[in-house]
Structure 1
Amino acid sequence: MAEAVTAYLGLGGNVGDVARSMRDALRKLDADPECRVTAFSRVYKTPPWGPVEQDWFLNACAAVETGLSAPDLLDLVLRTERELGRIRMTRWGPRTLDIDILLYGDEPVSLENLTIPHPRMVERAFVMVPLADIAGDVMLAGRTIRDHAKTFRDEGLEVTEIELGNR
């Protein structure tokens, strides 16, 4: 593996067996020679976000050590989503699996198809609360992830008993 960078991913979905899709996605990412899953959060049941009426989501976060560039990691993530049946139809709509790159090392990325840190992530409990499970001390916008996560109250998140693996 080239020099490794720690990246943090957000995973979520609300169609089909989402927990299985998340487990399968983590296995696929870990199978890539340039990407190793090093940690994952608890799985949370979260209320839908956005203008489309839909079922509740399952959300989690994962840490990966990767030798891939940010654009190459995005390619791997998008390929993984497609291989697991993701079809992009409605923005913020129902989905089998969504994988977002939240953070990539300490450097911001600003490309036409990729912005890191993920835009508006600090406004979303379904991102910040699971991310605090595995990256609580990481700094973002002058505060730790843990401190950002503490600002969310009564957001409706519920910790589930779902396990993503044996790490």
Structure 2
Amino acid sequence: MCPRGDKRNEVYIGIGSNMGHRIAYLHTAVQSIGQQLGPVTCSAVYETNPVGYTDQPKFLNMVVRVDTGHSPREVFRVLQGIEQEAHRKRDIRFGPRTLDLDVLLYNYSYFCFSDLQIPHARMWSRAFVLVPLADLAPDRRGLSGKSVSTMAEELRQKDEVRYVGRFW
């Protein structure tokens, strides 16, 4: 954890699972993020169809907001470690996974590393990200100038997004 007095950063993280006991993977991720990065606030959980590679089970998706003193690279490394603990495999691009953790937003900053882009490159066109993000940051503006809640509603109308519930 960061020393007392360090600057806290508002970070939004997308969480998804479509293998095994999906809700248990989400729960483990929420707990681990809270323990390793800082206090979390959780969206509701939604069930969505897979994107890209479609011959796989439906996903459970959610977003968490974490207040942390960690840098973007440190957050990314922590999330990769949590994925590894969940036995995440990267055999098929956009394929099935026990756990998928993505840094969506980090304050209002932009970062572009070879393995990490913030804001997440494809988040603005994905209902499975924007619908739960709208639970936590409905008035936040995207690159188009539209609010997250407006973009989420537009995508929700064309993509199947089913509310599952609030668990945390």
- Structure 1 SS opposite 2:70: coil
* 1:149 counterpart residue number: 152
CA contact (8 A) 2:30 2:40 kept: no
Distance in structure 1 (CA, Å) of the matches to 2:130 and 2:45 = 13
Q: Taking structure 2 as the reference length, what is the TM-score of the superposition? A: 0.92
* 1:56 counterpart residue number: 58
Amino acid at match of 2:123: M
Identity fraction in percent: 33
CA contact (8 A) 1:37 1:62 kept: no
* 1:3 counterpart residue number: 7
Structure 1 residues without counterparts, runs of 5 or longer = none
Q: Give the drift of 1:55.
A: 0.8
* 1:67 counterpart residue number: 69
**Structure 1 residues 3-35: Cα deviation after superposition (integer angstroms, max 9, x where no partner):** 110000100010011111111111111112xx2
Amino acid at match of 2:101: I
CA contact (8 A) 1:19 1:162 kept: no
Whether 1:121 aligns to 2:141 is no
Moved more, 49-58 or 123-132: 49-58
Q: Taking structure 1 as the reference length, what is the TM-score of the superposition? A: 0.92
- Structure 2 SS opposite 1:151: helix
Spell out structure 1 runs of 4+ moving beyond 6 A.
none
CA RMSD of aligned residues (A): 1.2
